[in-house]
Amino acid sequence: MSETNKAQPARLSGPARGWFNVGIMGVGHFFADFYCDILPILLPVLAKRFGLSYSECGALFMGFQVIASFLQPPIGLYADRHSINWIMPLSIVTGAATVCIVTLAPSLWLLVLIVLLSGFCSSGFHPVAGGIVPHVSPPGKDVLATSIFIAGGNIGFAVAPLIVAIFLDHFSDSDLPWLILPAVFTAALILCRRLHVKTTVSASAAALPKVRDIVRNRQFMLLTLSIGLRSWCYCALLMYLPLLLTATGHDSVDQASAVMTMLLGTAFGGLAVGTAALRIGLKRTIVGSFVVSLLCCAYFVWHPDLSFAALLALFLTGAGLYGSTPAAIVWAERLLSRSAAAFATSMMLGFTFGIGYMLSVITGWIGDLGGLQFGLAVTVLPSLFAGLVLLFWLKEPEDREVLN
């Protein structure tokens, strides 16, 4: 009896279930992704200050995103076994602090160090926060709670370039550290609501499939490759869109508006297209999203301006590119055993985007040789088409545990 009484306070000391805490998690995701998308709008400033080429700008942002993406799967696996929820508020503050001081770097080498450190700090939020949401959502409302959480991140990622551009129009880039304050407030709110406390730790973490089994799972590997090729298009547009519009005479606010248009499309696609998969199936959803992205991206690359048609094409490009993500996660989970759901999610959300950012450097290198518009046309469009072709080799799995 005494042991039971001792255990009871430990469970009650954690965060309470309810929509208020779900909302706070959404706000936390908003700011975590907000600070992850500040660097692209700063690239023209950094390129001018340090004399960076297109490929060098791409490599700088790639370094940030590759570290932030590839560290997520191991952090998620470790979080399943240990109580490390405190990493979530720490990641928000340190990620914000590092990215907001990049313009203060006195040398190129220190700039690179700060950017890489920012990626490292940012990597801790998503894998930990994703495991918290089911524990704070009202009973039976996990899906809606997760949608709110995801929407918060997508919106934060979308509005960051425009907000930062407006900030830089009114203040100097040396004033960017003031933008750390919202992160500090959000982290304090998370601590006050005890969202950093993990009530229970699984005594025996679910075993992942062996690496050998995953590599031999041909369907899973082809799906990962297809989504990775799609990510090339998404990552390249995110990295080079401000630079492309700079080359065509648009100012920073115009650049930020275009980036926000594409990212609002990703928020729409992640919710609308992901829901459509329940009715028309995973494969049809992903194939349809690839086709929409390919056609609309081709139009925008051919007409990189801010006309209504170009912005609509950019919005639909974002919707198609991110719309395939929820369906791809479910597909990957079905291809692997149910115990590997966290790993499958990390691969589709972390690993494939890491691939996309690495390949985007090729886009920048070709852009240095023949112009950025040409570089985008000959890399991201063929990559999308190749990813689409790969999908036709895949068979949609049944809704059961499968491990080939």
- Structure-token pair, residue 82: 């240990």
Across 3-7, 106-110, 128-132, least confident range = 3-7
Q: What is the DSSP letter of 104?
A: G
Give 377 or 161, the one with higher predicted confidence: 377
Q: Which helix (H) or strand (E) holds 193?
A: none
Please calculate the CA angle 241-242-247 and round it to the nearest 5 degrees: 95
pLDDT of amino acid 13: 58
pTM above 0.85, yes or no: no
- Max mean pLDDT among 26-35, 186-195, 197-206, 256-265 falls in 26-35
- For the segment 273-282, the average pLDDT, to the nearest whole number, is 69
Would you say 384 and 294 are in contact if contact means Cβ atoms under 8 Å apart? yes
Q: What whole-number distance in Å separates Cα of residue 241 and Cα of residue 304?
A: 9
Nearest alpha carbon to residue 62 among 91, 40, 31, 29: 40
- For the segment 154-158, the average pLDDT, to the nearest whole number, is 81
pLDDT digits (tens, 9 = 90+) for 337-385: 654 555 666 777 778 888 888 888 899 889 988 889 999 999 999 999 9
pLDDT digits (tens, 9 = 90+) for 69-97: 888 777 766 765 667 778 888 999 998 99
Q: What whole-number distance in Å separates Cα of residue 297 and Cα of residue 294?
A: 5
Would you say 41 and 131 are in contact if contact means Cβ atoms under 8 Å apart? no
Averaged pLDDT of the chain: 80
Q: What whole-number distance in Å separates Cα of residue 259 and Cα of residue 114?
A: 24
pLDDT digits (tens, 9 = 90+) for 166-219: 888 888 878 888 989 999 999 898 888 777 766 554 444 445 556 666 777 888
The label of the residue with tokens 């072709």 reads: 389
Nearest alpha carbon to residue 357 among 227, 265, 238, 221: 238
- Please give the share of the chain, as a percent, with pLDDT higher than 70: 81
Would you say 284 and 291 are in contact if contact means Cβ atoms under 8 Å apart? no
Give buried/exposed letters for 258-270 (b at 16+ CB in 10 A, else e).
bbbbbbbbbbbbb
Structural domains of the chain in order of their starting residue, each with its CATH number: 17-205 (1.20.1250.20), 207-404 (1.20.1250.20)
- Structure-token pair, residue 318: 């974002």
Q: How many Å is the Cα radius of gyration of the chain?
A: 21
The label of the residue with tokens 């547009």 reads: 237
Whether residue 132 is predicted with pLDDT greater than 90 in this model: the reply is: no
For 202-206, the CB contacts below 8 A with 24+ separation are 202/80, 202/81, 205/77, 205/80, 205/81, 206/80, 206/339, 206/340
- Structure-token pair, residue 305: 């301006």
pLDDT of amino acid 146: 66
